[in-house]
Amino acid sequence: MASIVQFENVGLRYGSGDETLSDISFSLNTGAFYFLTGPSGAGKTSLLKLLYLAQRATRGTVRIFGEDAGALPRTRLPGFRRRIGVVFQDFRLVPHLSAYDNIALPLRVAGVSESDIEAPVREMLAWVGLTDRGRAKPPTLSGGEQQRIAIARAVIGRPELLVADEPTGNVDPDMAERLLHLFDSLNRLGTTVVVATHDFHLLNRIPNAHMMRLEKGRLNDPTGALRNPPRGAA
Amino acid sequence: MKLSLNPNAPDRRLLDESRRTRAMTWIMAIMVFLTVLAGALGLGMFAATAQLDRQLAGRLTIQIVEPDAAVRDSQVKALRTALPRVAGVTRVAEVDRERLAELLKPWLGDTGLDPDLPMPAMIDVETRGGNGAVVEQTARAIAPGARIDRHAQWLSPVRGFMTTMSWLAVGLMLLIASATAAVVLLAARSGLDTHRDTIDVLHMLGSTDVQIARLFQRRIAFDTLLGGLLGTVAALGLVWFLQSRMALVGSEMLSGVALQQRDWFLLLLVPLGFALLATFAARRTVLRALGRTL
Ligand SMILES: Nc1ncnc2c1ncn2[C@@H]1O[C@H](COP(=O)(O)OP(=O)(O)OP(=O)(O)O)[C@@H](O)[C@H]1O
Ligand SMILES: [Mg+2]
Tens digits of residue pLDDT in A32-44: 999 999 999 999 9
A16 Cβ below 6 A of ligand 1: no
pLDDT of residue A228: 67
- The domain spans of chain A are 1-83+162-234, 92-158
Residue B81 shares a structural domain with residue B102: yes
Number of domains in chain B: 2
Considering the domain boundaries, does residue B5 fall inside one?
A: no
* pLDDT tens digit sequence for B128-173: 766 677 888 888 888 888 888 877 777 778 888 889 999 999 999 9
Instruction: State which residue of chain B sits closest to A56, comparing Cα positions.
Output: B294
Residue B127 shares a structural domain with residue B169: no
**Average pLDDT over all residues of chain B:** 84
pLDDT of residue B254: 66
Considering the domain boundaries, does residue B58 fall inside one?
A: no
Considering the domain boundaries, does residue B248 fall inside one?
A: yes
Q: Work out the minimum CA distance from A181 to partner chain B, whole angstroms.
A: 23
Look at B200 and A74 and tell me if their CB atoms are within 8 Å.
no
Q: Kindly state the average pLDDT of the residues B217-243.
A: 93
Instruction: Pick the last residue of a domain from B79, B112, B145.
Output: B145
**Average pLDDT over all residues of chain A:** 91
Work out the pLDDT band at B111, boundaries 50, 70, 90. low
- Of A106-110, B121-125, B180-184, the one with minimum mean pLDDT is B121-125
Residue B239 shares a structural domain with residue B214: yes
pLDDT of residue B253: 61
Residue B188 shares a structural domain with residue B245: yes
Q: What is the ipTM of this complex?
A: 0.90
* pLDDT tens digit sequence for A11-38: 999 988 899 999 999 999 999 999 999 9
pLDDT of residue A1: 59
With beta carbons less than 8 A apart as the criterion, state whether A141 and A149 touch.
yes
Instruction: Pick the more confident residue, A83 or B15.
Output: A83
A44 Cβ below 6 A of ligand 1: yes
A46 Cβ below 6 A of ligand 1: yes
| Strands A192-196 and A33-37, sheet pairing | parallel
The whole model's pTM is what?
Answer: 0.79
Residue B91 shares a structural domain with residue B112: yes
Considering the domain boundaries, does residue B74 fall inside one?
A: yes
Instruction: Pick the more confident residue, A224 or A204.
Output: A204
Q: In a 10 Å sphere around its CB, with 0-12 CB exposed, 13-18 middle and 19+ buried, how is residue B239 labelled?
A: buried
Instruction: Pick the last residue of a domain from B111, B145, B179.
Output: B145
Has residue A234 got a pLDDT over 50? no
pLDDT of residue B114: 62
- Ranked by mean pLDDT, the top range of A53-62, A203-212, B65-74 is A53-62
Residue-number span of the structural domain to which B102 is assigned: 66-145
Residue B45 shares a structural domain with residue B181: yes
For B197-226, letters b (16+ CB in 10 Å) and e give: ebbebbbbbbbbbebbbbbbbbbbbbbbbb
* pLDDT tens digit sequence for B47-63: 888 887 777 777 888 88
Residue B118 shares a structural domain with residue B168: no
* pLDDT tens digit sequence for A167-192: 988 888 888 888 898 899 999 999 99
Rounded (to 5) percent helix, strand, coil in chain B:
75, 10, 20
How many contacts, defined by CB atoms under 8 Å, are there between A and B?
64
Residue B192 shares a structural domain with residue B277: yes
Q: For residue B208, give the nearest of A78, A101, A104 by CB distance.
A: A78
With beta carbons less than 8 A apart as the criterion, state whether A147 and A170 touch.
yes
A1-83+162-234: CATH architecture: 3-Layer(aba) Sandwich (3.40)
Residue B167 shares a structural domain with residue B253: yes
Residue B185 shares a structural domain with residue B269: yes
Task: Identify all chain A residues contacting B211, using CB atoms and an 8 Å cutoff.
Answer: 109
Has residue B19 got a pLDDT over 80? no
Cα B177 to Cα B68, B237, B278, distances in angstroms: 65, 21, 9
Considering the domain boundaries, does residue B3 fall inside one?
A: no
Residue B231 shares a structural domain with residue B283: yes
Mark the residues whose beta carbon lies below 5 A from ion ligand 2.
A 44-45, 89
Residue B113 shares a structural domain with residue B172: no
